[in-house]
Structure 1
Amino acid sequence: MSISEAIEVFNELLKTTNSKRETKIYKSFLKILENLRNKDLSERQSPMIQEALGSLLLEASTENSKKYYKQKLSEFKAFLKEEFYFTTEKHYTEIGMVYGLIIGTGIGMLYGTFIDSILGSSMGLSMGTSLGMLFGMLYGARKDAEAKKLGRVV
């Protein structure tokens, strides 16, 4: 299935749905496909993407469209990341924020517990969480800028 055919499939799906969640998934897929169509793909990349789109079985009719296409979107993103190192916008920022939140919470709890067992743990938790999230977002934003500079954002 070509990129243009996949875009047509999702445009038709957009016309037939009333669900906001399904619309969001379809628009995410469309955005990625539009960016791929506008990107200068090599002779090796284009057939591989067409083959991947064909294997996703996008034209299949299912009972739970939202779940089906959400899974297919995840599979397609994983394929693009594994094969071509393509990522979506703010991909690293989101991941950095999650890891920063986790690590910052742990460090904040440890630090707060050493200061004071009752009051220090709540202060350490709030400071560690916010600082960890901030540093994670900054690191992720830097990685996103690097990926955009290399032309790997779709």
Structure 2
Amino acid sequence: MTLKNTLNFFESLKRETTKKSEIKIYEKFIEILKKLENREFTTDEIQSIEVELDSLQLKSYPENRKKFFKNTLNKFENYLKDIFSLTSKGYYMERSIGYGVLFGVVAGVIFGERFERSLGLSFGICFGMFLGAFIGSRLDAQAKAAGNML
């Protein structure tokens, strides 16, 4: 399935549905595909992307379309990240905030023993989110400067 055919497919799916959650997934796919069309790839790289799009079996009609296309979008984004080091906008920010909250909870439990437990958790989560957002924004900026952001 070519990039253009896939783009047309998702635009038709977007027109068919009225569910906002599905529309968001289709718009994300459309955004990624348009940005891929504007990038310069070799013919081998384009063929590799098209083979990956074929392997995703987009034209199958599952019962739960939202779940299927959300999982498919994640697989396609991971493929682009692994093979071409391409990330979408906010990729590192989302992940680093999540990790920041996770480690903030752990730090809050550890340091919460000295203070009131809920106060320690609150400070740990806040500090983890702040640190995660800082690291994520730096990594996103580096990816954009390197030309690896879609």
Please indicate the TM-score interval, normalised by the length of the shorter structure: over 0.9
Compute the TM-score of the two structures, normalised by the length of structure 2.
Answer: 0.95
TM-score (norm 1): 0.92
- Per-residue CA deviation, residues 73-96 of structure 1 (Å, 9 max, x unaligned), is 111111111111111110101111
1:67 alignment partner in structure 2 = 67
Number of corresponding residues: 150
Root-mean-square deviation over aligned CA pairs = 1.1
Residues 8-38 of structure 1: CA distance to partner in whole angstroms, max 9, x if unpaired? Answer: 0001001110111111110111111011111
Show the 5 A alignment for 1:83-94: 83-94=83-94
Distance 1:71 1:121 in 2: 38
* Equivalent residue letter for 2:16: T
Residue 21 (structure 1) aligns with: 21
1:144 partner amino acid: D
- The answer for the alignment partner of 1:42 in structure 2 is 42
Tell me which of 104, 109, 124 is aligned to 1:128. Answer: 124
SS of the aligned residue for 1:44 comes to: helix
User: Could you tell me how far apart the structure 2 residues matched to 1:48 and 1:60 are?
Assistant: 21
**Larger Cα-atom Rg:** 1
Q: Deviations over 1:125-147 (max 9, x none)?
A: 11111011100110011001111
Give aligned-pair identity as a percent.
Answer: 35
Unaligned runs of 5+ in 2: none
Q: What is the SS of the residue equivalent to 1:61? A: coil
Show the counterpart of 1:53. Answer: 53
